[in-house]
Amino acid sequence: MQGILDALRAVAEPTRLRLLALCAEGEFTVSELTQIVGQSQPRVSRHLKQLSDAGLLERLPEGSWVFYRVASEAKAGQLARHIVSQLPGDEMNLAQDHERLAAVRRARADAASNYFRANAAQWDEIRSLQVDDALVEQHLVGLLPPTGIGALLDVGTGTGRILELYGEQGVTGIGVDLSREMLAVARANLSKAGLSNVYVRHGDMYRLPWPAPAFDAITVHQVLHFADDPGAAIAEAARVMRPGGRLVIVDLAPHDVEMLRREHAHRRLGFADGEVSGWFADAGLQPGPVDRLPGNKLTITLWAATRPH
């Protein structure tokens, strides 16, 4: 009961109620929230601290930035969203906040568009060598159906496309990536899709920020060929996977397109089935089906595994 009373006291102030409503729409930095509500950064920071202390918001540091979002813990998150659902949509301050929120989202989308414009050539060059992304996604969903996934982790989330794919099916998910540029792109894409059940974090695939198993499903999509130690990355993914959980690796079969190593920083020119199944076994996982999708010069392979009960 005390937790509920603390939460209700925390939102019993107009600005904090506005901030809670905004954070229910996604995750935002203090700077973005300051821009939206039109108040000083110290004041907004104090309000955010009170909401965080009451358990209604999560504070997520990322380098020199800090993001805020509605708490992922079930009871606190449900209470926060229930409070927000009772707010009148035509209230003047809330309506103005929503307009400014749209401007922040447009700025994110513009930044993502600029990033892709600067890097479009390399993306198009790689895509021309392999099968269409939509076909890969179709086969991924076949190996890892959204039904029954309580929590999804996407390692090396990149543009956030896998989160978007599963988030549209109602799956709750988190994506981690080391590149802050790619995280900005992913946030813009998830915001554009209107998804608040999936979000991204800055993180290292060799040191995932969860001390215990927390996920029912994990995807590693077109990431391992950049890794210094793919086996260690798979072992770390297995560490945070719950018993009965499923892992799907999507990557390249062995190939000889040396240009990918020379110009696109691929450390490995694909992986053999035996190599991947060996990493699964070392991580305590049971290898499952293997799915191959031949393309122009590159074959996409999907390797599945489960963590035994």
pLDDT digits (tens, 9 = 90+) for 186-200: 998 998 898 989 999
Confidence (pLDDT) at 94: 87
Confidence (pLDDT) at 112: 57
The amino acid that residue 86 corresponds to is Q
The yes-or-no verdict on residue 62 having pLDDT over 80 is no
- Structure pTM? 0.77
Nearest CA-CA partner of 240 in 161, 168, 176, 170: 176
Q: How confident is the model at residue 116 (pLDDT cuts 50, 70, 90)?
A: low
**pLDDT exceeding 90 applies to what percent of the chain?**
52
Mean pLDDT score, 79-95? 86
Lowest-confidence segment of 6-15, 124-133, 270-279 by average pLDDT: 124-133
> ∠158-130-230 over CA atoms, to 5°?
50
Residue ranges, comma separated, of all CATH 1.10.10.10 domains in the chain are 2-101
Residue ranges, comma separated, of all CATH 3.40.50.150 domains in the chain are 129-306
Q: How confident is the model at residue 115 (pLDDT cuts 50, 70, 90)?
A: low
What CATH topology corresponds to 129-306?
Rossmann fold (3.40.50)
The yes-or-no verdict on residue 178 having pLDDT over 90 is no
CB atoms within 10 A of CB 278: 14
Domain 2-101 of CATH type 1.10.10.10:
yes
Q: How confident is the model at residue 127 (pLDDT cuts 50, 70, 90)?
A: low
Q: How confident is the model at residue 45 (pLDDT cuts 50, 70, 90)?
A: very high
Arithmetic mean of pLDDT over the chain: 88
Confidence (pLDDT) at 267: 79
Confidence (pLDDT) at 229: 81
Instruction: Please indicate whether residue 73 or residue 179 has the higher confidence score (pLDDT).
Output: 179
Confidence (pLDDT) at 91: 85
CB atoms within 10 A of CB 35: 18
Lowest-confidence segment of 30-39, 117-126, 217-226, 260-269 by average pLDDT: 117-126
